[in-house]
């Protein structure tokens, strides 16, 4: 069952990325030395990337009082330049702003990787800002690869969730954009269990 929360229930719209999800990206995609995580939250993605030797600039609109967050109070959609030395943006953006994040990120940086629902490939409309951003992100010609998880990621529960822990019914992928890319995007099936120890509840079943 797909669990949906209202915008008011989402609050900060924080659903932290499982460590295995970021490790899967590291196996699937060569990442540069310096990376910007502009929706870092408490630092789930940041910790994994830094542990792998990358320099990560970690910012967010909200202050999570985490040692893995460098700066708070920075609205990514109002940023006009990337921090010095940044070669790539890697993030799990707020769900309701995913399309705008993707389009804006590509305007600031030549390479972008975002963890998004696979359904991000659907829809898009000229009638709304979000719809136009999605059309640009998906059909604008810069989408180079989609690393699709062949097994469902561990459930990303909303920050502060105290209810039952559910299994994940949503398909996710790492979407990678490259400024100047031409041609159709490549589709790659990846597993968060590949090359790592097996975890309880992991399944290679295709849904």
pLDDT in tens, 111-141: 999 999 999 998 788 888 888 999 999 999 9
Q: Cα angle vertex 60, ends 58, 64, to 5°?
A: 95
Is residue 101 within 8 Å of 123, Cβ to Cβ? no
CA separation for the pair 138, 141 (Å, rounded): 7
Task: Say what the pLDDT of residue 52 is.
Answer: 98
CA separation for the pair 37, 94 (Å, rounded): 12
For the chain, domain boundaries: 14-190
Query: Is residue 96's pLDDT more than 70?
Result: yes
Mean pLDDT for the stretch of residues 77-104 = 95
What is the CATH number assigned to the segment(s) 14-190? 3.40.50.150
Q: SS3 sequence, the chain?
A: CCCCCCHHHHCCCCECCCHHHHHHHHHHCCCCCEEEECCCCCCHHHHHHHHCCCEEEEECCCCCCCCCCCECCCCHHHCCCCCCCCCEEEECCCHHHHHHHHHHHHHHCCEEEEEEEHHHHCCCCCCCHHHHHHHHHHHCCCEEEEEEECCCCCCCCECCCCCCCCCCCCCEEEEEEECCCCCCCEEEEECCCCCCCCCCCCCCCCC
Query: Is residue 32's pLDDT more than 50?
Result: yes
pLDDT band per the 50, 70, 90 thresholds, residue 168: low
Is residue 72 within 8 Å of 59, Cβ to Cβ? yes
Q: What percent of the chain has pLDDT over 90?
A: 69
Global pTM reads: 0.83
Q: In this predicted model, which residue has the larger pLDDT, 4 or 42?
A: 42
Task: Say what the pLDDT of residue 127 is.
Answer: 87
**Region at 174 (left for phi over 0; alpha for psi -120 to 50; beta for the rest):** beta
Task: Say what the pLDDT of residue 5 is.
Answer: 36
Task: Say what the pLDDT of residue 202 is.
Answer: 41
């Amino acid at each position: 069952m797909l669990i949906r929360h209202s915008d008011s229930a989402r609050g900060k719209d924080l659903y932290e990325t499982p460590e295995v999800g970021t490790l899967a990206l590291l196996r699937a995609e060569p990442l540069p030395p310096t990376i910007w995580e502009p929706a870092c939250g408490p630092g789930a993605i940041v910790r994994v990337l830094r542990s792998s030797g990358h320099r990560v600039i970690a910012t967010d609109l909200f202050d999570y009082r985490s040692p893995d967050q460098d700066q708070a109070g920075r609205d990514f959609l109002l940023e006009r330049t990337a921090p010095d030395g940044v070669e790539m943006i890697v993030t799990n953006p707020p769900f309701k702003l995913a399309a705008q994040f993707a389009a804006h990120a590509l305007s600031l940086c030549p390479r972008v990787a975002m963890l998004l629902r696979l359904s991000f490939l659907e829809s898009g409309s000229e009638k709304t800002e979000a719809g136009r951003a999605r059309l640009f992100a998906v059909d604008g010609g810069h989408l180079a690869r989609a690393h699709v998880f062949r097994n469902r990621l561990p459930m990303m529960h909303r920050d502060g969730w105290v209810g039952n822990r559910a299994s994940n019914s949503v398909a996710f992928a790492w979407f990678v954009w490259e400024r100047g890319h031409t041609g159709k995007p490549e589709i790659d099936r990846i597993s968060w269990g590949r090359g790592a120890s097996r975890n309880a509840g992991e399944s290679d079943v295709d849904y």
